């Protein structure tokens, strides 16, 4: 059995000086700027927060990822984002040819009739608060006639209490440069159950901390008191394991830095890092150092806010990693040649995290380089309660310098069949465009290294826009335009998590089953229409037909749903036909109005969709049955009702 040493013991053993850590104050759950800048709150697990995505995805499941709009409004503007309820935008990306007409983007918050904020495409990176480094512009090369392309990106957090719309003055469509077309992109945001404590974006917030933090990328953004444990130079022979830290008390690792003296790209795959917290049976992190530090190729330096590498052998990872009983940090040489570790430093502070509400820093099992014929590469599939905070994927084509970036990233959360995050290409996921023609590129939240177009190694940090999950998360990526290309992927995601899920299914209503309808006392009122539908979902399963019965009605529907009395809120998941856009209904629970359920997007080809509505604990606690009523309404005067339903799944939060 290995003997565990305290930090003090290690310091004496190695003859090192120490800085004694003072207790840090862990902030409450936050949103917006606080969430984005306060790295120390990353281990705190979310409640009643969902990550969502709206973007220009080819509705046919191919690669025509343009035509980015939902509908034209009464002013002649093109709506590209429209949600109800409380939330916060964390990332916005737009791609345009330099010859394209310049759009003006207008942001409407909380049902306002006049835009609260307006910005031109050319003002990204210049107009406050969309200034460097939290917003910027990348202009790619001609790239054999595909470019040049202007990509504007923003990580400016934009919270709202009661809905948000974004419009474009120009219809964003087409992909022909000579016609001045183009215009594709996305918005990533969080949706919240309640607006309590949220202040809507004004544009006058104080961004000085974010600007200062992001301009110092490469330095540890966590400024709490720490103590440093440094390892003297040592050579690891093939198969050797080197312990960097063994501790038998609680703490938080705030920094892990290495210098590999005989650095070459093979080290990125052959030298692995293993982290184990609180004597867990399995390692919490076990992956190559290239993955752990954000670059698996090593052609160029890459520096992101919380991880980075240099070609001469320096590595850093600044994600806070709490533990409550003990910790082990090890390096393992899995290659055939010796590796000289010239410098290793672990910075540790005190642990003031609530153990019941915080997660362990973990990696998904490393996805070794391989090809998956005709299907997404499933980089990660994890269970439990947590939030994803980083993704790292490397891709190899059949030969260098061929375009391999068109595969969409697709993320399914808590078993929902519709992707909750789906990028229009790998490059768009990390906020670039037209492939990966000019490596290395980077900004504080992500970037890539590689050769022109292939191979490439990309990293996306999800800081403000982390991906909360309450029972599971599946992360996949296409091979080419629609899984029609031979590509080999490798990688992992990093997350804070616990094994126990906190979202459990308690009931299910199937409107194709007369028995289920009777058991749940389902009723539809007004003019009622029932029709069979055989269709597909968007995503990797867009060629798998699913049969169901769709109910449409003019006055409303109701049903009973069984739940657990000791719940912390309820989630409703609806299966519906998304042929028509702007589905909207008011939701009532036991005679009390809860809020508006709204889905603005549509797809006339892949018609099945699952979307969700959150019912706060104040409506559900202590009950074993809910009477749910939905009243469809139009979001625009005179427009037809488009609400429909084919099934419901009911979930309870247990935490």
Distance between CA atoms of residues 388 and 475, nearest Å: 10
194-210 mean pLDDT: 95
Residues of the chain with CATH 2.60.120.1390: 7-27+218-358
- How far apart CA 11 and CA 653 sit, in angstroms, is 44
- Please state, for a pLDDT cut of 70, what percent of the chain lies above it: 96
Greatest distance between any 2 Cα atoms in the chain: 81
pLDDT recorded at residue 179 = 86
State percent of the chain over pLDDT 90: 90
What is d(CA 424, CA 344) in angstroms, rounded to the nearest whole number? 39
The SS3 call for residue 168 is: strand
CA distance 499 to 386: 9
Beta carbons of 170 and 102 less than 8 angstroms apart? yes
- The tens digit of pLDDT for each residue in 307-321 reads 999 999 999 999 999
Q: What is the pLDDT of residues 474-507, one digit of tens each?
A: 999 999 999 999 999 999 999 999 999 999 999 9
- CA neighbor of 225 nearest in space, from 245, 247, 250, 252: 252
* 413 pLDDT above the threshold of 90: yes
Instruction: Name which of 246, 472, 497, 254 is nearest 360 in CA terms.
Output: 497
Would you say residue 11 has pLDDT above 70? no
List, as one string, the DSSP characters of 381-417: EEESEEEEEEEEEEEE-SSTTS----PPEEEEETT-S
What pLDDT, on the 0 to 100 scale, is given for residue 400?
A: 87
Average confidence (pLDDT) over 78-98: 96
Could you say which of 1.10.240.10, 2.60.120.260, 1.20.210.10, 1.20.1260.10 is the CATH number of the domain covering 503-653? 2.60.120.260
* Cα 596 to Cα 58: distance, rounded to the nearest angstrom: 28
Host H or E run for residue 497: strand 488-498
- pLDDT of amino acid 637: 81
- How is residue 629 annotated by DSSP? E
Q: Which residue has the tokens 């004004």?
A: 202
Q: What is the mean pLDDT of residues 396-401?
A: 92
DSSP assignment of 464-486 equals TT-EEESSEEEEEE-STTTT-S-
pLDDT at residue number 145: 82
pLDDT number for residue 335: 96
Q: Mean pLDDT across the chain, nearest whole number?
A: 93
What lies within 8 Å, CB to CB, of 185 at 6+ separation is: 55, 56, 68, 80, 92, 93, 94, 95, 172, 424, 428
d(CA 441, CA 447) in angstroms, rounded, equals: 5
- Among the residues of 198-283, which ranges form H helices? 208-215, 267-270
CA–CA separation, 556 and 638 (whole Å):
18
pLDDT grade, residue 178 (50/70/90)?
confident
End-to-end CA separation in angstroms for the chain = 36
pLDDT band at 184 (very low <50, low <70, confident <90, very high): very high
Query: pLDDT-based confidence at 26, cuts 50/70/90?
Result: very low
Chain-centroid distance of CA 171 in Å reads: 27
Question: 69 near 55, Cβ under 8 Å?
Answer: no
Is the confidence at residue 23, as pLDDT, over 50? no
What tokens appear for 317 in the block? 């990872």
What does the pLDDT average to over 524-531? 97
CB atoms within 10 A of CB 228: 17
Contact between 568 and 653 under an 8 Å Cβ cutoff? The reply is: yes
Let me know how long the chain is: 655
Confidence of residue 639 (pLDDT cuts 50, 70, 90): confident
Asked: is 7-27+218-358 a CATH 3.10.580.10 domain? The reply is no
- Report pLDDT for 517: 98
Q: Reduced to 3 states, what is the DSSP secondary structure of residue 518? A: helix
Of 143 and 23, the structure prediction assigns the larger pLDDT to: 143
In degrees and rounded to multiples of 5, residue 39 shows phi and psi of -60, -30
Are 388 and 462 within 8 A, CB to CB? yes
Pair 642, 580: CB distance under 8 Å: yes
Helices and strands per DSSP (H, E), number in the chain: 7, 49
The pLDDT confidence band at residue 177, using thresholds 50, 70 and 90, is confident
- Beta carbons of 476 and 458 less than 8 angstroms apart: no
Residue range(s) in the chain whose domain bears CATH number 2.60.120.260: 503-653
Q: Is the pLDDT of residue 4 over 80?
A: no
CA–CA separation, 572 vs 524, rounded Å? 18
Confidence of residue 421 (pLDDT cuts 50, 70, 90): very high
Q: How confident is the model at residue 469 (pLDDT cuts 50, 70, 90)?
A: very high
Secondary structure string (H, E, C) spanning 523-568: EEECCCEEEEEEECECCCCCCCCEEEEEEECCCEEEEEEECCCCCC
DSSP output for 73-95: -TTS-EEEEEE-SEEEEEEEEEE
- For the stretch 422-465, pLDDT in tens is 999 999 999 998 889 999 999 999 999 999 999 999 999 999 99
Tell how far CA 40 is from the center of its chain: 18
- In the sheet that holds 644-645, the strands lie side by side as 529-535, 546-552, 644-645
Q: Give the mean pLDDT of 542-563.
A: 97
Q: Please, which residues bridge with residue 155 across strands? A: none
Pairing of strands 546-552, 625-632: unpaired
Query: Using one digit for the tens of pLDDT, what is the confidence trace for 121-130?
Result: 999 999 999 9
- Position 176 scores a pLDDT of 87
Q: Say what the pTM is.
A: 0.95
pLDDT in tens, 576-605: 999 999 999 999 999 999 999 999 999 999
**pLDDT reported for residue 543:** 94
User: Is 339's pLDDT higher than 50?
Assistant: yes
Nearest to 360 by CA among 227, 492, 476, 253: 253
DSSP codes joined into one string, 228-243 = EEEE--EEEPTT-EEE
The continuous run of DSSP H or E covering 292 comes out as helix 289-292
- CA 631 from chain centre, in angstroms, equals 32
């Amino acid at each position: 059995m290995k003997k565990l040493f305290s930090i003090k013991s290690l310091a004496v053993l190695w003859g090192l000086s120490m800085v004694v850590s003072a207790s840090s104050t862990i902030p409450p759950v936050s949103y917006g700027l606080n969430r984005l800048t306060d790295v120390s709150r990353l281990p705190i697990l979310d409640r009643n927060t969902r990550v969502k995505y709206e973007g220009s995805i080819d509705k046919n499941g191919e690669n025509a990822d343009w035509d980015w709009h939902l509908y034209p409004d009464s002013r002649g503007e093109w709506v590209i984002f429209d949600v109800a309820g409380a939330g916060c935008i964390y990332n916005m990306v737009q791609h345009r040819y330099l010859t394209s007409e310049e759009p003006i983007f207008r942001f409407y918050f909380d049902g306002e009739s006049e835009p609260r904020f307006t910005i031109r495409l050319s003002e990204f990176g210049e107009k406050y608060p969309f200034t460097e480094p939290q917003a910027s512009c990348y202009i790619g090369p001609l790239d054999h006639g595909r470019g040049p392309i202007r990509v504007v990106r923003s990580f400016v957090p934009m919270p709202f209490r009661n809905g948000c719309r974004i419009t474009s003055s120009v219809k964003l469509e087409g992909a022909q440069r000579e016609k001045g077309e183009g215009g594709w992109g996305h918005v990533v945001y969080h949706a919240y159950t309640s607006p309590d404590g949220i202040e809507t974006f004004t544009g006058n917030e104080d961004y000085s901390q974010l600007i200062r933090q992001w301009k110092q990328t490469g330095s540890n953004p966590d400024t709490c008191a720490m103590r440093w444990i440094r390892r003297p130079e040592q050579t690891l022979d093939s198969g050797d394991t080197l312990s960097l830290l063994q501790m038998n008390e609680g703490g938080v690792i705030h920094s892990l830095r290495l210098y590999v003296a005989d650095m070459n790209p093979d080290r990125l795959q052959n030298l692995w890092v293993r982290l184990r917290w609180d004597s867990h049976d399995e390692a919490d992190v076990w992956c190559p150092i290239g993955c752990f530090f954000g670059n698996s190729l090593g052609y160029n330096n890459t520096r992101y806010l919380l991880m980075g590498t240099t070609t001469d052998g320096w590595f850093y990872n600044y994600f806070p990693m709490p533990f409550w009983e003990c910790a082990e940090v090890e390096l393992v040489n899995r290659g055939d040649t010796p590796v000289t570790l010239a410098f290793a430093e672990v910075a540790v502070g005190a642990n003031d995290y609530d153990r019941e509400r915080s997660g362990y820093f973990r990696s998904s099992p490393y996805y070794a380089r391989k090809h998956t014929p005709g299907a997404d590469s499933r980089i990660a599939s994890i269970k439990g309660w947590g939030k994803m905070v980083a993704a790292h994927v490397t891709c190899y084509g059949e030969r260098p310098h061929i375009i391999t970036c068109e595969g969409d990233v697709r993320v399914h959360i808590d078993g929902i069949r519709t992707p909750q995050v789906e990028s229009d290409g790998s490059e768009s996921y990390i906020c670039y465009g037209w492939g990966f023609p000019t490596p290395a590129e980077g900004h504080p939240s992500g970037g890539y290294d590689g050769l022109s177009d292939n191979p490439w190694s990309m990293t996306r940090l999800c800081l403000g826009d982390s991906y909360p999950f309450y029972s599971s998360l599946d992360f996949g990526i296409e091979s080419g335009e629609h899984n029609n290309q031979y590509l080999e992927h490798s990688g992992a995601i990093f997350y804070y998590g616990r094994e126990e899920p906190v979202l459990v299914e308690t009931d299910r209503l199937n409107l194709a089953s007369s028995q289920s309808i009777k058991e749940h006392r389902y009723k539809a009122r007004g003019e009622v229409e029932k029709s069979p539908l055989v269709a597909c979902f968007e995503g990797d399963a867009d060629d798998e037909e699913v049969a169901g019965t769709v109910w449409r009605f003019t006055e409303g529907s109701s049903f009973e749903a069984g739940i657990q009395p000791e719940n912390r809120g309820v989630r409703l998941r609806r299966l519906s036909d998304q042929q028509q856009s702007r589905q909207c209904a008011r939701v009532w629970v036991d005679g009390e109005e809860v809020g508006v359920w709204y889905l603005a997007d549509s797809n006339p080809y892949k018609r099945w969709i699952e979307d969700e509505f959150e019912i706060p604990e104040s409506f559900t606690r202590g009950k074993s049955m809910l009477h749910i009523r939905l009243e469809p309404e139009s979001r625009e005067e005179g427009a037809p009702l488009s609400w429909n339903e084919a099934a419901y799944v009911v979930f309870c939060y247990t935490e």
